[in-house]
Amino acid sequence: MSGLFGSISKMDCVSDVFYGTDYHSHLGTKRAGLVFISHDKNFQHSIHSIEDGYFRNKFEDQVLKFTGTSGIGVISDTEAQPLIINSHLGNFALATVSRILNLNDLETNFLNKHQHFSETSQGRVNPTELVAMLISEGQDFVSGIDNVFSSVRGSCSLLILNETGLIAARDKLGRTPLIIGKKENAYSIASETCSFANLGFKIEKYLGPGEIVNITAEGCETLKESGKKMQVCAFLWIYYGYPPSFYEEINVEECRYRCGAALAQNDHFAVDFVTGIPDSGVGHAIGYSNERHIPYMRPYAKYTPTWPRSFMPQSQHMRDLVAKMKLIPNEALINGKKGVFLDDSIVRGTQLKDNTRDLFDAGILEVHMRIACPPLTYPCEFLNFSRSRNTLELASRKAIHQLEGTESVDLQEYSNPCSEKYKAMVEQIRKNLGLSSLKFQVLDDMVKAIGLPKEKLCTHCWDGTSYC
């Protein structure tokens, strides 16, 4: 995943862009970048790795040297960006949130036209540069962005910065969000509305699927109206989103309360406490606790001063080790007790298995795990969540393989919570993780908790449905 922030003002905007981008740090762990147009119309540009530190620490000295009334920033889990492009459309800076499934085909098409690429990302073409090349094939920015939407299979939202202002375009099916904020003398555009409040911005407009807008310090102009079909990623509410953020006018934390309450309504185990796996499991657990009137407790303390990110190291072994070191069980609260633990999802289950073992070692009697979404059965095709080099890394697919002895199975039966195969899969996952009991959210209940019609949500990870 990645996050975008841009601002344009009648005054200097460097501080707003710096802090606004920083408020997207939960969305990316590898690269971050800022670009501004200075008062003399030159681009000022900086990109850093954030794998060994925070965004703020990498950029705070540099931003003191930047000036300008317009700028964009990006936190990225993938490529280095923003990029500055020289084209027949003029000079522009570009930042994207994308996953391009047909990147290799598009790369080949450009190479066959005797084009070349100057940027690489983890040993392959930089997707943001490829998007820039698609934009530059247009007669103007709107036709160029339309070329991106028609050419890219997957997802792509983007921000363009040029001398006249900011151009923002939301993915053609709205898989990732973009929201406009407004305050006196300035406008902003962001992936996360949590970036607005402390900078003085108020939500002005939610961009629709495929919508393209031009933003200046004077206001916002629609260059292309939004489409009617939407497939916004449901995981924005369940996992990705920061609690104060809104997407499609729906608050993340309120949604998580509803998810937890839905799980509680179908649960009857007698337990002593409810808790959430930090961080995104906490909101789900509060909803569960409130619904069942069972005390909410914190049997885990999350230690963040020196271990801020469980996914920062390069190797899986080190990531698992850091994840273990972050969560410290509190024996005083769990010894001789039974607890319900809520989490947003189970991807591979490696960390959860270790955490469960630690709980039993600390004296807990029963660990009942409740998951805020259905089992992840299909790797994500449109963002960067639940991706694995091998589908058998997914806890659900590993369990299915253990039951069937092959990967060639009808997954639809395992996606149906009423089927015997689904129940066998959940039981196998429970055994693999060493849990006392395990229940997943029913898809219909999750959709109801979010509050959008099912056809407007991408639920591919759970039921295999998708629209391109």
What kind and span of H or E run contains 57? helix 55-63
| pLDDT at residue 195 greater than cutoff 70 | yes
Q: Give the residue with greater pLDDT, 305 vs 434.
A: 434
154 CB contacts (<8 Å, ≥6 apart)?
Answer: 98, 99, 100, 101, 102, 381, 382
463 burial level (CB within 10 Å; 0-12, 13-18, 19+): middle
Q: Fill in the DSSP letter of residue 237.
A: I
Domain total in the chain: 2
Last-in-domain residue among 230, 264, 283: 230
- Examine residue 236 and state whether it is found in any structural domain, yes or no: no
Average pLDDT over residues 57-82: 93
Angle, vertex CA 6, rays to CA 118 and CA 383, nearest 5: 65
Listed in sequence order, the residues at least 6 apart from 234 whose beta carbon sits closer than 8 Å to its beta carbon are 373, 446, 447, 450, 457, 458, 459
User: Is 205 a domain residue?
Assistant: yes
Two structure tokens written together for 338:
């039974």
- Closest C-alpha among 87, 124, 123, 120 to residue 105: 124
Residues 263, 220 share a domain: no
For 383-394, how does the pLDDT look when each residue is reduced to its tens digit (9 = 90+)? 866 555 568 889
Q: How far apart are CA 309 and CA 52, in angstroms?
A: 10
- Residue 303: the pLDDT is 77
Residue 156 corresponds to which tokens in the numbers above? 């792509």
Q: What is the pLDDT of residue 381?
A: 83
In the numeric block, which tokens belong to residue 150?
């028609």
Residues 262 and 391 in one domain: yes
Residue 339, helix vs strand vs coil: strand
Across 152-156, 206-210, 353-357, 379-383, least confident range: 379-383
Domain match, 272 and 210 both: no
Q: Is the peptide bond before 329 cis (omega within 30 degrees of 0)?
A: no
What pLDDT sits at residue 65? Answer: 92
Q: Please report, for the domain that includes residue 142, its CATH number.
A: 3.60.20.10
Average pLDDT, the chain: 92
Does residue 241 carry a pLDDT above 70?
yes
Q: Largest Cα–Cα distance in the chain?
A: 70
For 259-313, the pLDDT digits (tens) are 999 999 989 889 999 999 988 899 999 999 999 999 999 998 887 666 555 444 4
In a domain, 428, yes or no: yes
Return the pLDDT at 355: 87
- Domain assignment present for residue 458? The answer is no
**For the residues 110-114, what does the mean pLDDT come to?**
93
DSSP 377: -
**CA–CA separation, 343 and 280 (whole Å):** 7
Q: Which two tokens stand for residue 352?
A: 């959860």
At 166-178, the pLDDT tens digits run 999 999 999 999 9
Structural domain includes residue 353: yes
Distance from C-alpha of 21 to C-alpha of 18, rounded to nearest angstrom: 5
Looking at residue 385, its pLDDT comes to: 60
Helix axes 127-136, 141-151, angle to 10 degrees: 130
The confidence score (pLDDT) of residue 310 equals: 45
Rounded to whole angstroms, the Cα distance separating 231 from 209 reads 8
Q: In this structure, what CATH number is given to the domain that contains residue 290?
A: 3.40.50.2020
Whether residue 277 sits in one domain with residue 195: no
Residues 272 and 170 reside in one and the same domain: no
Q: Are residues 324 and 424 in the same domain?
A: yes
Averaged pLDDT, 350-374: 93
Q: Are residues 59 and 190 in the same domain?
A: yes
Task: Answer yes or no: is pLDDT of 376 > 90.
Answer: yes
pLDDT of 328 strictly over 90: no
Domain edge (last residue) among 161, 195, 230: 230
Quick check: 213 and 180 in contact, CB under 8 A? Answer: yes
Higher pLDDT, 467 or 230: 230
The predicted structure's pLDDT at residue 360? 94
- What is the arithmetic mean of pLDDT over 61-89? 94
pLDDT of 314? 53
Please tell me the distance from the alpha carbon of residue 115 to that of residue 147, in angstroms, as a whole number: 17
- Please tell me the distance from the alpha carbon of residue 61 to that of residue 2, in angstroms, as a whole number: 23
Give the integer Cα–Cα distance in Å for 345 and 323. Answer: 16
Determine the Cα–Cα distance for residues 420 and 416; give it in Å rounded to an integer: 9
Domain that holds residue 257: 253-450
Query: Are 23 and 108 part of one and the same domain?
Result: yes
Question: Mean pLDDT across the stretch 49-67?
Answer: 90
| CA-based nearest residue to 41, from 13, 18, 61, 70 | 70
Mean pLDDT, residues 43-65: 91
Is 70 exceeded by the pLDDT of residue 16? Answer: yes
The residue from 187, 215, 230 where one domain ends is 230
DSSP letters for 30-46: SEEEEEEE-TTS-EEEE
Q: Is 43 inside a domain boundary?
A: yes
In a 3-state reduction of DSSP, which class is residue 229? coil
Helical H segments across 192-293, by residue range: 235, 252-265, 281-292
pLDDT at 311: 45
Are residues 264 and 182 part of one domain?
Answer: no
Position 242 in a domain: no
